[in-house]
Amino acid sequence: MSVNAKMFNQAKTLRLHTGNIVNRSRIKKKCPGSPSEELQDCIQATLSDWFSQTKLNIENFKDTLDCSIPEATDAITPEEREELKVSAKLFLCESDKSSIKEAVNLACQTLAVSQLDSVIIAPPGPPEGATQALAHLQPAWEELEALVHSQQIAAIGTSDLDKDLLEQLYNWAQVKPSSNQVNLASCCVMPPDLTAFAKEFDIQLLTHNDAKELMSAAAFQQALQEGTQDLSVADWRLEWVLRYSIIVKSRGIIKSKGYLVSARKASP
């Protein structure tokens, strides 16, 4: 068994950075599918490249495995920072709010910036049989507000809130949402009450095509299995996924886009 395989088997946490997928030939050759398919391809390709290219020393190994391809990083230089807008959408797979700070810290560190221009949060769905309520959103929103106060995020937004829930969040929140993403699959036309409320309170309405569950446990394990050449993956659980994009402000083009992924091995 290779050293990398041994370390994967010993690891308790996995951190994966796909690098700039705009430039990755392996991923570009495929026809663009859904965001979920793109993420699965990215995880599989990054792990596969990492296993074949990276040589690690097992003696210094703790329990977190960092899988990133060195030449694929997107570090932003201080000279170009002003010209770029760094946006992220954070998908939480579990309701552990400490993941938010962890994900934002990792994104800032990976991209070599002190602040993300905007972060949209997609918290896990409500418990079985319950409807989404303000109480489900509040812990995550408070965590985001703290990151705005510490100047790690400039603006924060929500995803898939209807007018009533957006209004409740707006009235309760200290830091108001600057945007709300609406899934075009669920409504081809923006609901008029949502449009009117957003206009009145200066909330930008954006569209997206992400699935309610960006990645199922089965799809994640399949990507791990293919990327690691069939090592044991049954105990790994996806914690969060942060998708970022870096846009050149003056030209409106995407300079780079990628994913940061965190997973944890369930204790036996």
pLDDT tens digits for range 46-71: 998 888 876 666 666 678 888 887 66
State the DSSP H helix or E strand holding residue 213, giving kind and residue range, or none if neither: none
| pLDDT, mean of residues 189-204 | 93
Query: Residue 251: is its pLDDT beyond 60?
Result: yes
| pLDDT, mean of residues 200-224 | 91
Question: Percent of the chain having pLDDT more than 70?
Answer: 90
Query: Residue 120: is its pLDDT beyond 70?
Result: yes
- Identify the DSSP state of 72: G
Q: What is the value of pTM for the model shown? A: 0.92
Which position has the token pair 């083009």? 253
Query: Residue 1: is its pLDDT beyond 80?
Result: no
Assess contact for 147 and 174: CB atoms under 8 A.
no
Average pLDDT, the chain: 88
Partners of residue 258 on adjacent β-strands: 244
Query: Residue 142: is its pLDDT beyond 80?
Result: yes
Comparing 258 with 28, the larger pLDDT belongs to: 258
Q: Using alpha carbons, select from 245, 219, 238 the residue that is nearest to residue 85.
A: 245
Rounded to whole angstroms, the Cα distance separating 234 from 255 reads 36
**The pair of three-digit structure tokens given for residue 47, joined into one six-digit string:** 């792990």
- ∠ CA(160), CA(249), CA(192), 5° rounding? 30
Comparing 242 with 57, the larger pLDDT belongs to: 242
Most confident range (mean pLDDT) of 3-12, 164-173, 178-187 is 164-173
Q: Can you list the alpha helix ranges (DSSP code H) found in the chain?
A: 3-10, 25-28, 35-53, 78-81, 98-111, 134-149, 163-172, 192-200, 217-227
Query: Residue 30: is its pLDDT beyond 60?
Result: no
Q: Is 14 helix (H, G, I), strand (E, B) or coil?
A: strand
Q: What is the pLDDT of residue 148?
A: 98
Q: What is the pLDDT of residue 59?
A: 62
Question: Binning pLDDT at 50, 70 and 90, where does residue 9 land?
Answer: confident
